[in-house]
Structure 1
Protein backbone atom coordinates (compact mmCIF):
# COMPACT_ATOMS: atom_id res chain seq x y z
CA UNK A 1 0.00 0.00 0.00
CA UNK A 2 1.38 3.39 -1.00
CA UNK A 3 0.48 6.59 0.83
CA UNK A 4 0.17 10.09 -0.61
CA UNK A 5 3.05 12.45 0.20
CA UNK A 6 1.88 15.81 1.51
CA UNK A 7 3.74 19.10 1.13
CA UNK A 8 3.44 21.86 3.73
CA UNK A 9 5.88 24.75 3.95
CA UNK A 10 9.35 23.21 3.61
CA UNK A 11 8.25 19.72 4.67
CA UNK A 12 7.20 16.74 2.55
CA UNK A 13 5.79 13.80 4.50
CA UNK A 14 3.33 10.96 4.84
CA UNK A 15 0.68 11.30 7.55
CA UNK A 16 -1.83 8.63 8.57
CA UNK A 17 -4.02 7.66 11.53
CA UNK A 18 -4.85 9.33 14.83
CA UNK A 19 -3.37 8.94 18.29
CA UNK A 20 0.10 9.00 19.85
CA UNK A 21 2.53 10.34 17.20
CA UNK A 22 5.16 8.08 15.67
CA UNK A 23 7.87 9.68 13.51
CA UNK A 24 9.59 7.23 11.16
CA UNK A 25 13.06 8.07 9.82
CA UNK A 26 14.49 6.25 6.81
CA UNK A 27 18.14 5.55 6.09
CA UNK A 28 20.65 7.16 3.77
CA UNK A 29 19.78 5.04 0.73
CA UNK A 30 16.19 4.53 1.86
CA UNK A 31 12.88 6.24 1.22
CA UNK A 32 9.33 6.64 2.53
CA UNK A 33 8.17 3.36 0.99
CA UNK A 34 10.55 1.46 3.31
CA UNK A 35 7.95 1.94 6.06
CA UNK A 36 4.74 1.20 4.10
CA UNK A 37 3.83 -1.83 6.22
CA UNK A 38 4.61 -0.03 9.48
CA UNK A 39 2.52 3.00 8.49
CA UNK A 40 -0.46 0.78 7.66
CA UNK A 41 -0.12 -1.34 10.82
CA UNK A 42 0.12 1.53 13.31
CA UNK A 43 -2.26 3.99 11.65
CA UNK A 44 -4.94 1.26 12.10
CA UNK A 45 -4.14 1.01 15.83
CA UNK A 46 -4.62 4.41 17.46
CA UNK A 47 -1.33 5.95 16.36
CA UNK A 48 -0.70 9.00 14.21
CA UNK A 49 2.17 8.10 11.90
CA UNK A 50 4.47 10.60 10.20
CA UNK A 51 7.21 9.77 7.70
CA UNK A 52 9.10 12.93 6.73
CA UNK A 53 11.21 13.14 3.60
CA UNK A 54 14.63 13.95 4.98
CA UNK A 55 16.57 16.64 3.09
CA UNK A 56 19.50 14.38 2.27
CA UNK A 57 20.15 15.95 -1.14
CA UNK A 58 18.71 19.42 -0.52
CA UNK A 59 21.17 20.82 2.01
CA UNK A 60 24.08 23.09 1.09
CA UNK A 61 27.34 21.17 0.90
CA UNK A 62 28.69 22.78 4.09
CA UNK A 63 25.57 21.69 6.02
CA UNK A 64 25.34 18.16 4.67
CA UNK A 65 25.70 16.32 7.97
CA UNK A 66 23.60 14.37 10.46
CA UNK A 67 23.32 17.20 12.99
CA UNK A 68 21.67 19.49 10.45
CA UNK A 69 19.19 16.77 9.47
CA UNK A 70 18.42 16.15 13.17
CA UNK A 71 17.59 19.86 13.55
CA UNK A 72 15.29 19.59 10.52
CA UNK A 73 13.46 16.64 12.13
CA UNK A 74 13.17 18.59 15.40
CA UNK A 75 11.47 21.46 13.53
CA UNK A 76 9.16 18.98 11.82
CA UNK A 77 8.11 17.50 15.19
CA UNK A 78 7.52 20.97 16.66
CA UNK A 79 5.46 21.96 13.63
CA UNK A 80 3.32 18.83 13.32
CA UNK A 81 2.78 17.56 16.88
CA UNK A 82 1.75 18.90 20.27
CA UNK A 83 3.26 16.16 22.43
CA UNK A 84 6.52 14.17 22.70
CA UNK A 85 6.75 11.54 19.97
CA UNK A 86 8.09 8.04 19.49
CA UNK A 87 10.94 8.22 16.97
CA UNK A 88 11.57 5.08 14.91
CA UNK A 89 14.80 5.13 12.89
CA UNK A 90 16.46 2.71 10.50
CA UNK A 91 20.17 2.92 9.71
CA UNK A 92 21.10 6.62 9.37
CA UNK A 93 17.55 7.45 10.52
CA UNK A 94 18.32 5.75 13.84
CA UNK A 95 21.53 7.75 14.17
CA UNK A 96 19.53 10.95 13.61
CA UNK A 97 17.07 9.73 16.23
CA UNK A 98 19.93 9.33 18.73
CA UNK A 99 21.27 12.83 18.01
CA UNK A 100 17.76 14.30 18.30
CA UNK A 101 16.96 12.49 21.55
CA UNK A 102 20.21 13.67 23.10
CA UNK A 103 19.88 17.30 21.95
CA UNK A 104 16.09 17.75 22.36
CA UNK A 105 14.94 15.18 24.95
CA UNK A 106 11.66 17.00 25.55
CA UNK A 107 10.55 16.12 22.00
CA UNK A 108 11.15 12.35 22.26
CA UNK A 109 9.04 10.11 24.48
CA UNK A 110 10.46 6.81 23.17
CA UNK A 111 13.20 5.88 20.71
CA UNK A 112 13.18 2.80 18.47
CA UNK A 113 16.34 1.78 16.58
CA UNK A 114 16.64 -0.85 13.89
CA UNK A 115 19.96 -1.38 12.14
CA UNK A 116 21.02 2.02 13.45
CA UNK A 117 24.37 3.61 12.81
CA UNK A 118 26.00 5.55 15.62
CA UNK A 119 28.71 3.13 16.71
CA UNK A 120 29.93 1.22 13.68
CA UNK A 121 28.64 0.50 10.21
CA UNK A 122 29.91 -0.93 6.95
CA UNK A 123 29.34 1.37 3.99
CA UNK A 124 30.23 1.67 0.34
CA UNK A 125 33.35 3.48 1.57
CA UNK A 126 34.67 6.86 0.50
CA UNK A 127 33.39 6.46 -3.05
CA UNK A 128 31.31 4.18 -5.26
CA UNK A 129 33.71 1.95 -7.15
CA UNK A 130 32.21 0.56 -10.33
CA UNK A 131 29.20 2.83 -9.90
CA UNK A 132 28.30 2.46 -13.58
CA UNK A 133 28.27 -1.34 -13.23
CA UNK A 134 24.63 -2.15 -12.51
CA UNK A 135 25.37 -5.75 -11.55
CA UNK A 136 27.82 -4.52 -8.92
CA UNK A 137 25.24 -2.08 -7.53
CA UNK A 138 22.65 -4.88 -7.54
CA UNK A 139 25.01 -7.13 -5.56
CA UNK A 140 25.78 -4.38 -3.02
CA UNK A 141 22.06 -3.63 -2.61
CA UNK A 142 21.24 -7.33 -2.12
CA UNK A 143 23.88 -7.56 0.64
CA UNK A 144 21.75 -5.23 2.76
CA UNK A 145 19.17 -8.01 3.14
CA UNK A 146 19.22 -11.62 4.28
CA UNK A 147 16.88 -12.47 1.40
CA UNK A 148 18.36 -10.91 -1.76
CA UNK A 149 14.92 -10.96 -3.40
CA UNK A 150 13.97 -7.96 -1.23
CA UNK A 151 16.30 -5.94 -3.47
CA UNK A 152 13.70 -5.57 -6.21
CA UNK A 153 14.65 -4.22 -9.65
CA UNK A 154 12.91 -0.96 -8.66
CA UNK A 155 15.04 -0.63 -5.51
CA UNK A 156 18.24 -1.40 -7.43
CA UNK A 157 17.26 1.23 -10.02
CA UNK A 158 16.81 3.81 -7.24
CA UNK A 159 20.24 3.10 -5.75
CA UNK A 160 21.85 3.05 -9.20
CA UNK A 161 20.28 6.42 -9.99
CA UNK A 162 21.57 7.99 -6.75
CA UNK A 163 25.16 6.80 -7.06
CA UNK A 164 25.35 7.90 -10.69
CA UNK A 165 24.03 11.40 -9.99
CA UNK A 166 27.20 13.41 -9.31
CA UNK A 167 25.82 15.74 -6.61
CA UNK A 168 23.71 13.06 -4.92
CA UNK A 169 26.73 10.77 -4.92
CA UNK A 170 28.91 13.44 -3.30
CA UNK A 171 26.31 14.17 -0.60
CA UNK A 172 25.74 10.47 0.05
CA UNK A 173 29.47 10.00 0.69
CA UNK A 174 29.53 13.13 2.90
CA UNK A 175 26.67 11.84 5.04
CA UNK A 176 28.28 8.39 5.29
CA UNK A 177 31.47 10.06 6.50
CA UNK A 178 29.47 12.22 8.92
CA UNK A 179 27.91 9.06 10.39
CA UNK A 180 31.29 7.37 10.83
CA UNK A 181 32.83 10.44 12.49
CA UNK A 182 29.84 11.01 14.79
CA UNK A 183 30.46 8.07 17.11
CA UNK A 184 27.97 8.16 20.00
CA UNK A 185 29.43 5.59 22.40
CA UNK A 186 30.09 8.22 25.10
CA UNK A 187 26.66 9.80 24.55
CA UNK A 188 24.52 6.67 24.91
CA UNK A 189 24.54 6.67 28.76
CA UNK A 190 23.06 10.21 28.70
CA UNK A 191 19.90 9.09 26.87
CA UNK A 192 17.19 8.51 29.48
CA UNK A 193 14.19 7.85 27.22
CA UNK A 194 13.08 4.22 26.85
CA UNK A 195 14.80 2.67 23.81
CA UNK A 196 13.72 -0.36 21.81
CA UNK A 197 16.39 -2.09 19.70
CA UNK A 198 14.98 -4.36 16.97
CA UNK A 199 17.80 -5.99 15.04
CA UNK A 200 18.19 -8.41 12.17
CA UNK A 201 20.39 -11.28 13.35
CA UNK A 202 22.09 -11.34 9.93
CA UNK A 203 22.60 -7.57 9.58
CA UNK A 204 25.76 -7.09 7.50
CA UNK A 205 25.78 -3.29 7.67
CA UNK A 206 25.41 -2.70 11.40
CA UNK A 207 26.28 -6.18 12.71
CA UNK A 208 24.65 -7.73 15.80
CA UNK A 209 27.53 -6.60 18.05
CA UNK A 210 26.44 -3.00 17.40
CA UNK A 211 23.04 -3.78 18.92
CA UNK A 212 24.68 -5.57 21.85
CA UNK A 213 26.90 -2.57 22.59
CA UNK A 214 24.03 -0.09 22.28
CA UNK A 215 21.96 -2.21 24.66
CA UNK A 216 24.88 -2.29 27.09
CA UNK A 217 25.40 1.47 27.20
CA UNK A 218 21.81 2.76 26.91
CA UNK A 219 20.38 3.08 30.45
CA UNK A 220 16.81 2.03 29.58
CA UNK A 221 16.75 -0.30 26.60
CA UNK A 222 15.26 -3.58 25.42
CA UNK A 223 16.84 -5.66 22.65
CA UNK A 224 14.90 -7.91 20.29
CA UNK A 225 16.32 -10.13 17.54
CA UNK A 226 14.70 -11.11 14.26
CA UNK A 227 16.13 -14.25 12.68
CA UNK A 228 16.89 -14.57 8.96
CA UNK A 229 16.82 -10.80 8.66
CA UNK A 230 19.31 -8.19 7.48
CA UNK A 231 19.70 -4.44 7.88
CA UNK A 232 16.11 -3.25 7.25
CA UNK A 233 13.85 -5.36 9.45
CA UNK A 234 10.74 -3.26 8.75
CA UNK A 235 11.10 -4.14 5.04
CA UNK A 236 12.33 -7.72 5.24
CA UNK A 237 10.27 -8.99 8.19
CA UNK A 238 7.50 -6.37 8.54
CA UNK A 239 5.03 -8.54 10.45
CA UNK A 240 7.56 -9.53 13.12
CA UNK A 241 8.93 -6.00 13.31
CA UNK A 242 5.48 -4.45 13.77
CA UNK A 243 4.35 -6.97 16.39
CA UNK A 244 7.55 -6.56 18.44
CA UNK A 245 7.24 -2.78 18.30
CA UNK A 246 3.51 -2.79 19.12
CA UNK A 247 3.98 -5.02 22.17
CA UNK A 248 6.96 -2.95 23.35
CA UNK A 249 5.02 0.31 23.08
CA UNK A 250 2.19 -1.20 25.13
CA UNK A 251 4.68 -2.47 27.72
CA UNK A 252 6.37 0.92 28.06
CA UNK A 253 3.02 2.70 28.36
CA UNK A 254 1.83 0.29 31.05
CA UNK A 255 5.05 0.85 33.02
CA UNK A 256 4.53 4.61 32.94
CA UNK A 257 0.93 4.21 34.12
CA UNK A 258 2.12 2.10 37.06
CA UNK A 259 4.59 4.74 38.24
Structure 2
Protein backbone atom coordinates (compact mmCIF):
# COMPACT_ATOMS: atom_id res chain seq x y z
CA UNK A 1 0.00 0.00 0.00
CA UNK A 2 1.32 3.43 -0.92
CA UNK A 3 2.17 5.60 2.06
CA UNK A 4 0.73 9.09 2.03
CA UNK A 5 1.59 12.11 4.15
CA UNK A 6 -1.28 13.61 6.12
CA UNK A 7 -1.40 17.36 6.62
CA UNK A 8 -2.06 19.02 9.99
CA UNK A 9 -1.27 22.66 10.61
CA UNK A 10 2.17 23.36 9.16
CA UNK A 11 3.18 19.69 9.28
CA UNK A 12 2.99 16.89 6.73
CA UNK A 13 3.71 13.45 8.15
CA UNK A 14 3.03 9.74 7.90
CA UNK A 15 1.88 7.85 11.00
CA UNK A 16 1.11 4.19 11.69
CA UNK A 17 0.81 1.86 14.69
CA UNK A 18 0.44 2.39 18.43
CA UNK A 19 3.01 2.45 21.22
CA UNK A 20 6.32 4.20 21.89
CA UNK A 21 6.84 6.79 19.13
CA UNK A 22 9.70 6.25 16.67
CA UNK A 23 10.15 9.57 14.83
CA UNK A 24 11.99 8.96 11.55
CA UNK A 25 14.10 11.70 9.90
CA UNK A 26 14.92 11.34 6.20
CA UNK A 27 18.08 12.56 4.48
CA UNK A 28 18.81 15.26 1.92
CA UNK A 29 17.65 13.32 -1.13
CA UNK A 30 15.37 10.99 0.83
CA UNK A 31 11.76 10.82 1.90
CA UNK A 32 8.96 8.60 3.05
CA UNK A 33 9.69 5.84 0.51
CA UNK A 34 13.15 5.22 2.03
CA UNK A 35 11.59 3.97 5.26
CA UNK A 36 8.60 2.00 3.94
CA UNK A 37 9.68 -1.39 5.31
CA UNK A 38 10.83 0.08 8.64
CA UNK A 39 7.42 1.75 9.05
CA UNK A 40 5.54 -1.47 8.17
CA UNK A 41 7.58 -3.64 10.52
CA UNK A 42 7.67 -1.46 13.64
CA UNK A 43 4.06 -0.22 13.35
CA UNK A 44 3.04 -3.90 13.59
CA UNK A 45 5.40 -4.63 16.49
CA UNK A 46 4.30 -2.29 19.28
CA UNK A 47 5.55 1.11 18.08
CA UNK A 48 4.00 4.23 16.63
CA UNK A 49 6.08 5.16 13.57
CA UNK A 50 5.91 8.83 12.60
CA UNK A 51 7.75 10.23 9.57
CA UNK A 52 7.56 14.04 9.27
CA UNK A 53 8.36 15.66 5.95
CA UNK A 54 11.34 17.88 6.76
CA UNK A 55 11.19 21.42 5.30
CA UNK A 56 14.56 21.12 3.57
CA UNK A 57 13.50 23.17 0.55
CA UNK A 58 10.52 25.14 1.87
CA UNK A 59 11.96 27.26 4.71
CA UNK A 60 13.50 30.70 4.43
CA UNK A 61 17.17 30.39 3.41
CA UNK A 62 18.20 31.74 6.85
CA UNK A 63 16.42 28.75 8.44
CA UNK A 64 17.90 26.23 6.00
CA UNK A 65 20.38 24.69 8.43
CA UNK A 66 20.82 21.75 10.80
CA UNK A 67 19.97 23.78 13.92
CA UNK A 68 16.67 25.10 12.50
CA UNK A 69 15.67 21.62 11.30
CA UNK A 70 16.35 20.25 14.81
CA UNK A 71 14.07 22.99 16.23
CA UNK A 72 11.41 22.06 13.64
CA UNK A 73 11.55 18.43 14.85
CA UNK A 74 11.23 19.55 18.47
CA UNK A 75 8.17 21.68 17.56
CA UNK A 76 6.67 18.72 15.70
CA UNK A 77 7.19 16.38 18.69
CA UNK A 78 5.50 18.99 20.93
CA UNK A 79 2.67 19.42 18.40
CA UNK A 80 2.06 15.66 18.44
CA UNK A 81 1.98 15.67 22.25
CA UNK A 82 4.75 13.09 22.60
CA UNK A 83 6.61 13.05 25.90
CA UNK A 84 9.81 11.27 24.84
CA UNK A 85 10.61 9.63 21.50
CA UNK A 86 13.07 7.35 19.79
CA UNK A 87 14.67 9.39 16.97
CA UNK A 88 15.84 7.46 13.91
CA UNK A 89 17.78 9.31 11.20
CA UNK A 90 19.62 8.45 8.00
CA UNK A 91 22.35 10.66 6.51
CA UNK A 92 21.37 14.33 7.11
CA UNK A 93 18.42 13.00 9.14
CA UNK A 94 20.90 11.36 11.51
CA UNK A 95 22.74 14.65 11.90
CA UNK A 96 19.45 16.46 12.68
CA UNK A 97 18.61 13.73 15.23
CA UNK A 98 22.01 14.18 16.91
CA UNK A 99 21.72 17.96 17.00
CA UNK A 100 18.17 17.70 18.34
CA UNK A 101 19.46 15.43 21.13
CA UNK A 102 22.16 17.97 21.99
CA UNK A 103 19.58 20.79 22.22
CA UNK A 104 16.59 18.93 23.68
CA UNK A 105 17.86 15.83 25.54
CA UNK A 106 14.72 15.72 27.70
CA UNK A 107 12.72 14.69 24.61
CA UNK A 108 14.91 11.67 23.75
CA UNK A 109 14.32 8.10 24.94
CA UNK A 110 16.78 6.69 22.40
CA UNK A 111 18.73 7.52 19.23
CA UNK A 112 19.25 5.46 16.07
CA UNK A 113 21.64 6.68 13.36
CA UNK A 114 22.57 5.09 10.05
CA UNK A 115 24.94 6.58 7.47
CA UNK A 116 24.74 9.79 9.49
CA UNK A 117 26.49 13.04 8.72
CA UNK A 118 27.78 15.08 11.65
CA UNK A 119 31.45 14.07 11.61
CA UNK A 120 32.34 13.62 7.96
CA UNK A 121 30.71 15.89 5.42
CA UNK A 122 32.70 15.66 2.19
CA UNK A 123 29.91 13.51 0.78
CA UNK A 124 27.50 16.41 0.76
CA UNK A 125 29.13 19.18 -1.19
CA UNK A 126 32.46 18.26 -2.73
CA UNK A 127 31.33 17.46 -6.29
CA UNK A 128 27.72 18.46 -6.40
CA UNK A 129 25.98 16.82 -9.40
CA UNK A 130 26.19 18.74 -12.64
CA UNK A 131 22.84 20.08 -13.67
CA UNK A 132 21.26 18.46 -16.68
CA UNK A 133 23.63 15.49 -16.98
CA UNK A 134 21.36 12.49 -16.36
CA UNK A 135 24.07 9.82 -16.68
CA UNK A 136 26.26 11.60 -14.13
CA UNK A 137 23.32 11.86 -11.70
CA UNK A 138 22.61 8.16 -12.24
CA UNK A 139 26.24 7.24 -11.39
CA UNK A 140 26.25 9.46 -8.28
CA UNK A 141 22.97 7.95 -7.10
CA UNK A 142 24.17 4.37 -7.68
CA UNK A 143 27.27 5.01 -5.51
CA UNK A 144 24.92 5.42 -2.53
CA UNK A 145 24.14 1.67 -2.67
CA UNK A 146 26.23 -1.50 -2.57
CA UNK A 147 23.92 -2.92 -5.26
CA UNK A 148 23.50 -0.21 -7.93
CA UNK A 149 20.20 -1.79 -9.02
CA UNK A 150 18.59 -0.32 -5.88
CA UNK A 151 18.93 3.08 -7.60
CA UNK A 152 15.77 2.63 -9.68
CA UNK A 153 14.81 5.02 -12.45
CA UNK A 154 12.24 6.55 -10.06
CA UNK A 155 14.96 7.33 -7.48
CA UNK A 156 17.35 8.73 -10.11
CA UNK A 157 14.54 10.85 -11.58
CA UNK A 158 13.82 12.34 -8.12
CA UNK A 159 17.48 13.32 -7.62
CA UNK A 160 17.67 14.64 -11.20
CA UNK A 161 14.64 16.88 -10.57
CA UNK A 162 16.25 18.31 -7.41
CA UNK A 163 19.59 19.14 -9.06
CA UNK A 164 17.81 20.83 -11.96
CA UNK A 165 15.81 23.10 -9.67
CA UNK A 166 17.90 26.24 -9.09
CA UNK A 167 16.35 27.08 -5.69
CA UNK A 168 16.76 23.49 -4.45
CA UNK A 169 20.40 23.46 -5.57
CA UNK A 170 21.10 26.69 -3.64
CA UNK A 171 19.37 25.27 -0.55
CA UNK A 172 21.16 21.92 -0.86
CA UNK A 173 24.54 23.69 -0.91
CA UNK A 174 23.42 25.85 2.05
CA UNK A 175 22.53 22.67 3.97
CA UNK A 176 25.89 21.09 3.04
CA UNK A 177 27.75 24.12 4.42
CA UNK A 178 25.58 24.06 7.55
CA UNK A 179 26.43 20.37 8.09
CA UNK A 180 30.14 21.22 8.04
CA UNK A 181 29.56 24.14 10.43
CA UNK A 182 27.57 21.98 12.85
CA UNK A 183 30.20 19.28 13.28
CA UNK A 184 29.32 17.19 16.35
CA UNK A 185 32.76 15.88 17.39
CA UNK A 186 33.00 18.06 20.54
CA UNK A 187 29.36 17.47 21.54
CA UNK A 188 29.12 13.68 21.23
CA UNK A 189 31.12 12.76 24.40
CA UNK A 190 28.60 14.77 26.47
CA UNK A 191 25.58 13.00 24.96
CA UNK A 192 24.51 10.04 27.11
CA UNK A 193 21.36 8.96 25.29
CA UNK A 194 21.07 5.26 24.45
CA UNK A 195 22.30 5.16 20.85
CA UNK A 196 22.10 2.46 18.20
CA UNK A 197 24.52 2.90 15.28
CA UNK A 198 23.65 0.70 12.26
CA UNK A 199 26.06 1.02 9.35
CA UNK A 200 26.57 -0.49 5.91
CA UNK A 201 30.03 -2.10 5.72
CA UNK A 202 30.29 -0.88 2.12
CA UNK A 203 29.12 2.71 2.67
CA UNK A 204 31.12 4.95 0.30
CA UNK A 205 29.33 8.17 1.31
CA UNK A 206 30.06 8.00 5.06
CA UNK A 207 32.68 5.21 5.23
CA UNK A 208 32.86 2.60 8.04
CA UNK A 209 35.52 4.52 10.00
CA UNK A 210 32.89 7.29 10.49
CA UNK A 211 30.67 4.77 12.31
CA UNK A 212 33.63 3.70 14.44
CA UNK A 213 34.31 7.33 15.35
CA UNK A 214 30.66 7.89 16.35
CA UNK A 215 30.85 4.76 18.51
CA UNK A 216 34.15 5.87 20.09
CA UNK A 217 32.86 9.35 20.91
CA UNK A 218 29.36 8.46 22.16
CA UNK A 219 29.45 7.08 25.72
CA UNK A 220 26.23 5.02 25.52
CA UNK A 221 26.35 3.63 21.98
CA UNK A 222 26.20 0.19 20.35
CA UNK A 223 27.57 -0.34 16.83
CA UNK A 224 26.17 -2.90 14.36
CA UNK A 225 27.34 -3.69 10.84
CA UNK A 226 25.38 -4.85 7.80
CA UNK A 227 27.44 -6.60 5.13
CA UNK A 228 26.97 -5.96 1.38
CA UNK A 229 25.28 -2.68 2.22
CA UNK A 230 25.87 0.97 1.35
CA UNK A 231 24.71 4.32 2.72
CA UNK A 232 20.98 3.61 3.16
CA UNK A 233 20.84 0.37 5.16
CA UNK A 234 17.09 0.62 5.85
CA UNK A 235 16.44 0.61 2.08
CA UNK A 236 19.08 -1.85 0.92
CA UNK A 237 18.88 -4.48 3.69
CA UNK A 238 15.56 -3.71 5.40
CA UNK A 239 15.05 -7.13 7.02
CA UNK A 240 18.49 -7.13 8.63
CA UNK A 241 18.12 -3.47 9.62
CA UNK A 242 14.75 -4.16 11.30
CA UNK A 243 16.09 -7.28 13.05
CA UNK A 244 19.11 -5.43 14.48
CA UNK A 245 17.06 -2.43 15.57
CA UNK A 246 14.32 -4.54 17.19
CA UNK A 247 16.91 -6.59 19.13
CA UNK A 248 18.60 -3.41 20.35
CA UNK A 249 15.27 -1.84 21.40
CA UNK A 250 14.49 -4.96 23.48
CA UNK A 251 18.00 -4.99 24.96
CA UNK A 252 17.81 -1.37 26.14
CA UNK A 253 14.13 -1.69 27.17
CA UNK A 254 12.69 0.86 24.76
**Alignment TM-score > 0.5, same fold:** yes
- Structure 1 gaps of 5+ residues are 255-259
Query: Whole-Å Cα distance in 2 between the matches of residues 123 and 200 of structure 1?
Result: 15
RMSD: 1.2
Tell me what 1:257 maps to. Answer: none
Tell me what 1:155 maps to. Answer: 155
Report runs of 4+ in structure 1 exceeding 6 Å deviation.
Answer: none
- Structure 2 gaps of 5+ residues are none
Query: Whole-Å Cα distance in 2 between the matches of residues 218 and 204 of structure 1?
Result: 22
Tell me what 1:100 maps to. Answer: 100
1:149-185 CA-partner distances (Å, limit 9, x unpaired): 0100000000000000000111011101111221111
The answer on whether the counterparts of 2:3 and 2:14 sit within 8 Å (CA) in structure 1 is: yes
Question: 1:1-259 alignment to 2 at 5 Å?
Answer: 1-123=1-123, 125=125, 128-253=128-253
Query: Whole-Å Cα distance in 2 between the matches of residues 195 and 89 of structure 1?
Result: 11
1:200 Cα shift? 0.2
Aligned pair count? Answer: 254
With normalisation by structure 1, the TM-score equals 0.96
The SS at the match of 2:100 is helix
The answer on whether the counterparts of 1:21 and 1:81 sit within 8 Å (CA) in structure 2 is: no
The answer on whether the counterparts of 2:121 and 2:176 sit within 8 Å (CA) in structure 1 is: no
Change in CA separation of 1:161 and 1:44 when aligned onto 2, cut-off 3 Å: same
The SS at the match of 2:23 is strand
The answer on whether the counterparts of 1:121 and 1:180 sit within 8 Å (CA) in structure 2 is: yes
The answer on whether the counterparts of 1:126 and 1:177 sit within 8 Å (CA) in structure 2 is: no
1:124 Cα shift? 5.1
1:95-132 CA-partner distances (Å, limit 9, x unpaired): 00000001000111000000000000332525635321
With normalisation by structure 2, the TM-score equals 0.97
1:26-79 CA-partner distances (Å, limit 9, x unpaired): 001111110000000000011001000000001111221010010000011111
